[in-house]
Structure 1
Amino acid sequence: MATLRPLKRYQLTTDLVIAGAFGLLSLVVELVGSAASTSIAGGALMVIAFTAALAVRRLQPGIALCLAWAGAALQMALGMTPSPTNLSIFAVLYATAAYGSTRVFWSGFASAIAGAVIVPAYLVGRGMSEPPTAEVWFVAGALLLAAGFALMLSWVSGALVRTAMRAAENSRAQRLAEAETIAEQQRVRIARDMHDVVAHSLAVVIAQADGARYAAATDPAATSDALATISTTARAALTDVRLLLTQLRHSQAEGPQPTLADLEELFARMRAAGLALDVVVDPAPPGEPPAAAQLAVYRILQEALTNALRHGVDPRVHVQLGWFADRVVLSVRNARSTASPVSTSPASGHGVIGMRERAQLAGGSLTAGAEYGEFVVKATLPIGAGG
């Protein structure tokens, strides 16, 4: 079944209006120039074929070429003389080269060559009863050159437009790919910078706080200096983090980050997609966990469940969440059937790499791989004493 090229509404409307006006004028010309009823009926059918070819030339160039050939065959079968209706052939050849598939593209090329041969043969051979003279051969050669030039010019013009459109599409795709690569590199750099800023600042703050606690009883001045250092370091870190977040907002859409309250919606979507989820939360979160831990848990679960949905051969998935005083431990187990090798699991795919990086940025760790006939994702993330 022939597929239709996607056209905008104004393009389709323009083609239909032009074809309608062309068909109406061609029909008037044919009716005025025809006397016999057979010629009138044949002329009307020929006009319909060429008009239909003109109307669908961009929508379906292959069908338009067939209709043009049908109209030309009918015209020659009835012995009709060339008429303005034949001008639609040039538009059809242009469309086959500009918009047609590879097969239609080369069919248009073959049609242009065949038409260049058929036109002089038909025109010179009409009504000839004697062998052709030198003058007749000269006229036939001139017609061959003229018809070939006109038909091939139409086809070549379409081929040039086709080349230009493909070059523009390739350039646009290359620009999009380059922009996506740059954006990804920027996000990776910002994530790495964020990790460095937070890790370094917290290390300084912890060291100074421990020193101030030990020196509080013997050296109050040292305690005051340590608190000043903590304050300065924290303010600098906050400024750096705000700057990095501002950069992120320029490359990603703004919006609230997911939290533990959004997990039920995530589980509901996965169940609706076909997973049989068994979710166990034990122990429950002690209070309100840090926002960073909530985001990391959500993203890791989101990616793990997505991988289970895409690559798992069994819909059963077991999710275990354990919120302890200083850490959260989660695991996602995707049950496998005995007929499926666990080696097909995407343990080293981009999804697992992303989950592992997410866990590392949160200060934790993540493993993923085969375990007792299942594909298991395990992560441990620190959340700080007291949540």
Structure 2
Amino acid sequence: MIRRIPTTWLVLDIVGAALGALVTIPLSLAFSTGQLSFWLPEMPATLMLVVTSLLIWGAAAVSRLSPPIALILAWTGALLQMGAGLSPLPIDIAIFGVLFATSAWGTKRMLWLGGASALGGGILGGLYIGLMQYDLAVVTAPAQLEIRLLLLSVTMGLTILLSLALSWGAGLLWRLVRQSSANREAQQRAERAAAEEQERVRIARDMHDIVAHSLAVVIAQSDGARYAAAAKPELAEEALVTIAQTARSALSDVRMLLTQLRHRQGDGPQPTLADLEALFAQVRHAGVEPRVTVDPMPPAEPPGAIQLAVYRILQEALTNAIRHGGGDVDVRLSWFADRVEIVVHNRIPPLKQAVPGAPPANPGGHGLIGMRERAQLVGGWITVQHEPTRFTVRATLPIGPSAN
């Protein structure tokens, strides 16, 4: 029954209704004949008109706050006006505002009640005007004028119906505009939320790639330094330098990602193909020699998304080779006009090979999921072959509009 609306709008509605009443009541008094009929004959016409005006304009004042109450007050005022025998007056302009409010701000039930009121008001108004003109014709005009008066009442009824329907239809149009605006805002909020979620997923994926690779290098170097400390101290010192450099690089990347997450800013600097040599150097320092083959070479500068996907997939594949492999690892990049193919082979040492009859281990873990997501983001795919003595990762990334 009561809607929550800003106080400013309520004050404006009340002030507007008061001004409308002050303007239309004197005009209605000038148009009124001062005669009463049907019921309450002892009440002066002026008082009846004022009461009717207060009801109708009061309905307009609360139409935005409570369309049901406004419709009840408007119908009460209209019936009181007809019961008093008053002709259509300027005060009836307020009814248009009430019908507009029922379709613009009312519930679905009020929307259709407002439409029914417009239809019923048009029919009832036409009949009322026809009865008034019929009584006048009986007294002052011949009987042959009754057909003309009937046509006049039908015309007036259609005119009233059209006027009321236009007011109701204008409110319905405003309702549709508001709903369209609300739907558009909801869609924009959903798109922003989806974009933020994708950004968080991207940052989480980058965090995993950076931390997993860096820790794998640190662990490998630490193990090597522990064994070489007694026999070759210089190798241990070199391993410690590599550990420090890897940790500093990882810390810098993590800080950058956390800054993006905290401030929701755009993407920071992302790895490109130019950073692959530094990645291969870290792998060499970890004790794994990557044998890299690039054939054919890139025909042009690949899109940034493809360069990032290639870097992250190689980073995770080489991290798996450091953790679970043994010896060297073969890396092949084949750049074609429409795609790039990545193949990474690493040997599995005997101690880590699967026991015959047992299910194969999953050396990729979350990293394998991350590689698949990386490929899917640019429209590519990844296949993994886990053989007893070898682990192979194959990736195909399309180079085209979907990769930009």
Q: Are 1:44 and 2:50 an aligned pair?
A: yes
The match for 2:83 among 48, 66, 77 is 77
Q: Structure 1 CA distance, aligned partners of 2:7 and 2:264? A: 34
Q: Structure 1 CA distance, aligned partners of 2:73 and 2:219? A: 82
Amino acid at match of 2:14: L
Amino acid at match of 1:98: A
Q: Structure 2 CA distance, aligned partners of 1:163 and 1:35? A: 43
Amino acid at match of 1:221: E
**Cα deviations by residue, 1:4-61 (Å, 9 ceiling, x for unpaired):** 2221222111101101111223333445546575212211210110111010111111
Identical counterparts, % of pairs: 43
Q: How is 1:58-97 mapped onto 2 (pairs within 5 angstroms)?
A: 58-97=64-103
Task: Tell me the residue number matched to 2:165.
Answer: 152
Task: Tell me the residue number matched to 1:191.
Answer: 204
Q: Are 1:241 and 2:254 an aligned pair?
A: yes
Shift of 1:168: 1.0
Helix, strand or coil for the counterpart of 2:85?
coil
Q: 5+ residue gaps in structure 2?
A: 36-42, 266-365, 367-404
Q: Are 1:220 and 2:233 an aligned pair?
A: yes
Q: Structure 2 CA distance, aligned partners of 1:122 and 1:12? A: 34
**Cα deviations by residue, 1:286-332 (Å, 9 ceiling, x for unpaired):** xxxxxxxxxxxxxxxxxxxxxxxxxxxxxxxxxxxxxxxxxxxxxxx
**Cα deviations by residue, 1:203-232 (Å, 9 ceiling, x for unpaired):** 211221221122122112212321221122
Shift of 1:138: 2.3
Give the root-mean-square deviation of aligned CA atoms. Answer: 2.0
Q: Structure 1 CA distance, aligned partners of 2:250 and 2:133? A: 96
Helix, strand or coil for the counterpart of 2:44?
helix
Task: Tell me the residue number matched to 1:307.
Answer: none
**Cα deviations by residue, 1:156-182 (Å, 9 ceiling, x for unpaired):** 111111111111111111211221122
Cα pair 1:124 1:136 within 8 Å, conserved: yes
Q: 5+ residue gaps in structure 1?
A: 253-356, 358-387
Q: Are 1:28 and 2:26 an aligned pair?
A: yes
Shift of 1:81: 1.4
Q: How is 1:294-373 mapped onto 2 (pairs within 5 angstroms)?
A: none
Task: Tell me the residue number matched to 1:99.
Answer: 105
Amino acid at match of 1:236: S
TM-score (norm 2): 0.59
Task: Tell me the residue number matched to 2:147.
Answer: 134
Shift of 1:118: 1.3
Paired residues, number: 251
Amino acid at match of 2:80: L
Helix, strand or coil for the counterpart of 2:5?
coil
**Cα deviations by residue, 1:223-263 (Å, 9 ceiling, x for unpaired):** 232122112211210121011101101239xxxxxxxxxxx
Cα pair 1:96 1:158 within 8 Å, conserved: yes
TM-score (norm 1): 0.61
Query: Greater CA radius of gyration, 1 or 2?
Result: 2
Cα pair 1:30 1:40 within 8 Å, conserved: no
Cα pair 1:30 1:44 within 8 Å, conserved: no
Cα pair 1:5 1:59 within 8 Å, conserved: yes
